[in-house]
Amino acid sequence: MLIIQVKSIFEPIHIAIPENLKCPNCGEKGNVEVTVYQKHIETGFSYKVTKKLSGTAHCTHCSTDIANVQWSPEIETTFNRLKQEARVQKPSVKWTTTFKLFLGFIFLAFAFVGYQIYALYTENKDKQHFFENPTANHKILVSHTVREDYSKTHDYGNNWAVIRKIDGDTIVVQFHNNKVALEEVSDSKAPKKGYNGPTYKIKKSEFQKQQRVTEYHKKNGLGLYYAYIWNFEKE
């Protein structure tokens, strides 16, 4: 939560003790001090010099403040004259460093969110482009299970695979022999060489639309059973 504390400052700009002024409290002459103030307003965000002027009267003889309602026409006239004579500061507003930092922070926050959206958009577009245009030598990181006979599926874990070639609705992929541990999947980079593992023919249309690997089943449903694509890398 943001708390803004507004502080009014009355800056004395002119003081006079005219000889003819009489104190309404003690009746003494020549001891009434009339002060003209200019109002300044300070908040955590700004410092403002207003054009508002105010005045006080104080008797130095009886040490009392003379309230505005007690002012005699003479005190009133004196105050008005002093207002004319006073060196009034030009009204202005200055923004504090806190405010500038706050603005900077807001700006950075927006820039950060904007960048995140942009990055996400670019990443999605990049991903979509990759899957829509399967290209030889591009690589995919795949978690795969192979059905070796009717009763047995074997989980081969996560491996990188390279796209060897595209042939009609068929993509030929060949797996790398080295497994990628599950905890390393997100940081794993595709090896440049060594794709000497099993080769599978996968459906290009599934790859493009579903962004997944589905093999053309070998006889009787044997072959690549399930494959999830974790990541991809262009050549």
Identity of the residue, 26 or 119, whose beta carbon is nearer to Zn ion in the bound complex = 26
Hey, which residues between 39 and 78 contact Zn ion (CB under 5 A)?
59, 61-62
Stretch that binds Zn ion, among 3-11, 18-26, 70-78, 79-87 (CB under 5 A): 18-26
Q: Least Å distance between CB 22 and Zn ion?
A: 9
Q: Least Å distance between CB 64 and Zn ion?
A: 6
Stretch that binds Zn ion, among 17-25, 36-44, 45-53, 194-202 (CB under 5 A): 17-25
Paired tokens of 193: 């060489």
Paired tokens of 150: 């009717």
Angstrom distance (rounded) from CA 51 to CA 54: 10
Neighbours of 10 (CB within 10 A): 16
Identity of the residue, 78 or 143, whose beta carbon is nearer to Zn ion in the bound complex = 78
Q: Least Å distance between CB 85 and Zn ion?
A: 24
Angstrom distance (rounded) from CA 77 to CA 84: 11
224, amino acid identity: L
Look at strands 170-180 and 139-149 and give their pairing. Answer: unpaired
> Hey, which bits of 6-138 come out as E strands?
7-16, 32-42, 46-59, 64-66, 92-95
Identity of the residue, 72 or 208, whose beta carbon is nearer to Zn ion in the bound complex = 72
C-alpha R_g of the chain = 42
Q: Least Å distance between CB 68 and Zn ion?
A: 16
Q: Least Å distance between CB 67 and Zn ion?
A: 13
Among 112, 106, 164, 115, smallest CA distance to 140 is for: 164
Count of residues that interact with Zn ion, criterion CB under 5 A:
6
68: enclosing H helix or E strand: none
Identity of the residue, 73 or 168, whose beta carbon is nearer to Zn ion in the bound complex = 73
By CB under 5 A, tell whether 146 contacts Zn ion: no
Of these, 17, 25, 130, 172, which contacts Zn ion (CB under 5 A)?
A: 25
Interaction site with Zn ion (CB under 5 A): 23, 25-26, 59, 61-62
